[in-house]
Structure 1
Amino acid sequence: MKSLEDLKKIKERALEMKKLKEGEARVIITIGMATDGIAAGARETMKAIMNFIRERQLDDVMITQTGYIGTPEHGPIVDVQIKGQPKVRYGHLKEQLVPRMMEQHVLKGEPVNEWTLKIEEEA
């Protein structure tokens, strides 16, 4: 039998999946987790993003992982897509840079130009 805490976690995951399917996420953050990205620090970057989201209780932000996302010399590479705005690809986004990127871009909607590799208009 599962504990109450286990059931709460299962419920939270189910609600997150439902939200994703219904397209309720305001922000989608995609992290390149191929071998080169992991070697460049993508795992630590992802943990920092997840901690920021959890600490700020940002339930409208979704994190996804992908394999190869760009050239290895730019890793860790992170894409940020805010609903209604162009997708922004960041390079060299080490974990210590995450708080500024999250504050400035995800919360205020202003990309951090100095780390931007490219900006893609919405499809």
Structure 2
Amino acid sequence: MRRRLGEQRIRALQVGIGLLTIRRRSDDQPLGYCGLIIGRCSIDEPEIVIELLRRHHGHGYATESAQAVTDAAFATGRTRIWATVASWNAPSLAVCRRLGFRDHHSATDDDGVGEVIYLIRDRPA
């Protein structure tokens, strides 16, 4: 996770979007990361990424973080946010759907992940 955050910090300086560390307010404990990347999408319609350490799953941190990031993205004028989730990752799919993302299409990923579900969320009117 540290390596990925380091790579994303460099990328954020290049493109203006990136990942943020998720920290628990009570003790500043790092829980994971959430943010926007170009990923399989574009700078105008970025992809949201969320990853938590396993011991922090199931406490609402992913939902809260992803909501804050999508709200911030829409506040910049973006009209659509994408998410790509492996079809076997039911918890991440549930987070996306709770936040109003809807299925767009699916594809088989070349990197061994298998089927990937592409989800979209349009800016509220």
On whether the aligned pair clears a TM of 0.5, the verdict is: no
Query: Which structure is richer in relative contact order (CA contacts within 8 A, separation 6 or more)?
Result: 1
Compare the two structures and name the one with the higher helix fraction. 1
Compare the two structures and name the one with the higher strand fraction. 2
Give 1 or 2 for the bigger CA radius of gyration: 1
TM-score normalised by the chain length of structure 2: 0.28
